[in-house]
Amino acid sequence: MEPRRAEIIAETLEGMILDGTFADGARLDEVQLAARFDVSRTPIREAFQRLALSGLVEQIPRRGVFVRQPGPVELIEMFEVMAGMEAICARLAARRISDAALEGMRAVNALCQQAVQAGDTDLYYRENERFHHMLYRQSGNGFLEQECLRLHRRLKPFRRLQLRLRGRLGQSMAEHEAVVDALAAGDEAGAAEAIHAHVAVQGEKFHHLMASLKPAAE
């Protein structure tokens, strides 16, 4: 139960950081949080480690754990790189993906669709994450897969946050289907373009994301 408890605590703290409850630069007190969540300090430490992987906190030896919010320029730069890397994955996967893997991606999309109909953002994100991880694997390039997974972890809180924007779940679902259709057709350029548009946070999506983060920046 400890890993699951740490995951729940990490997601709760993630939300509190993004909504401004914990401001940029704030020190997270391990003892106070253990009391707040009625747990030992072990799952709190594990939650800190999870948050550190996504870059939302910085662990400084002998000083403690501090909230670190990326600025808008850093955030858009990371999403630009993520979109480019996933586009390479899609281009390679359009050449290499197996029929079984295509069916697997369609099955995940079906679960995503159920989450859309239920309005369940958290369930959608979990299946959405599986979808992207499958795409990385189907690139057939292990190094690229690991680099995508690393940056995906870094952007996880913000990818989850943008799914809460009004109408975004249905839009994301349609983009997933366009990616799979292009992969099935062996359309390298189409698959790359579809996933790039899906991942890139620009224009209206970027403004909405920044607005959602605004309380944390004030």
Please tell me the pTM assigned to this model.
0.77
Contact 155, 82 (CB under 8 A): yes
Render 7-75 in DSSP notation, one character per residue.
HHHHHHHHHHHHTTSS-TTPEEPHHHHHHHHTS-HHHHHHHHHHHHHTTSEEEETTTEEEE-PPPHHHH
Phi/psi-derived region of residue 23, left when phi > 0, alpha when psi is between -120 and 50, beta in every other case: beta
Per-residue pLDDT tens, the chain, 218 aa: give them. Answer: 556 889 899 989 988 887 778 888 899 999 999 999 999 999 999 999 999 988 889 999 989 999 987 778 888 898 999 999 999 999 999 999 999 999 999 999 999 999 999 989 889 999 999 999 999 999 999 999 999 999 998 888 888 877 777 778 898 999 999 999 999 999 999 999 999 999 987 656 666 667 666 554 44
Q: Is 71 left (phi over 0), alpha (psi -120 to 50) or beta?
A: beta
